[in-house]
Amino acid sequence: MKLGNDLIKKKFDEIDGQIDFMIELCHTLQLENQELLLKIKNFETELDKKKETEDEYLDQQALIHSKIDGLLTKLDDFANSDPEEVSSNL
């Protein structure tokens, strides 16, 4: 009967060791998960900044194109006007 009890005790000790390992593994995975969540947040912040910079760049490009279009329109108007109108405006 003692042999049966020793076997049962040994099995419980093995299970206890496995449970301790699983608990430690869970704690490790929780820490890794927190680190990864922090990295994701940092990446999202960087991405937002890059999107903002890109939007500013696109706004500047649109402004530049608008100014160029305005200057080209003035040049076209000047080129298509009568020479008499130009000399009378001087």
What are the boundaries of each domain within the chain? 2-79
Full-model pTM: 0.60
Query: What is d(CA 65, CA 77) in angstroms, rounded to the nearest whole number?
Result: 18
- Structure confidence by residue, pLDDT tens digits, 29-41: 999 999 999 999 9
Provide the pLDDT for residue 47.
98
Provide the pLDDT for residue 1.
57
Exposure string (b/e) for 21-55, b if CB count within 10 Å is 16 or more?
eeeeeeeeeeeeeeeeeeeeeeeeeeeeeeeeeee
Read off the tokens for 54: 């890109």
Query: What is d(CA 85, CA 11) in angstroms, rounded to the nearest whole number?
Result: 107
For the segment 2-21, the average pLDDT, to the nearest whole number, is 91
Task: Check pLDDT > 70 for residue 88.
Answer: no
> How many angstroms from the chain centroid is the CA of residue 49?
8
Provide the pLDDT for residue 41.
98
Provide the pLDDT for residue 64.
98
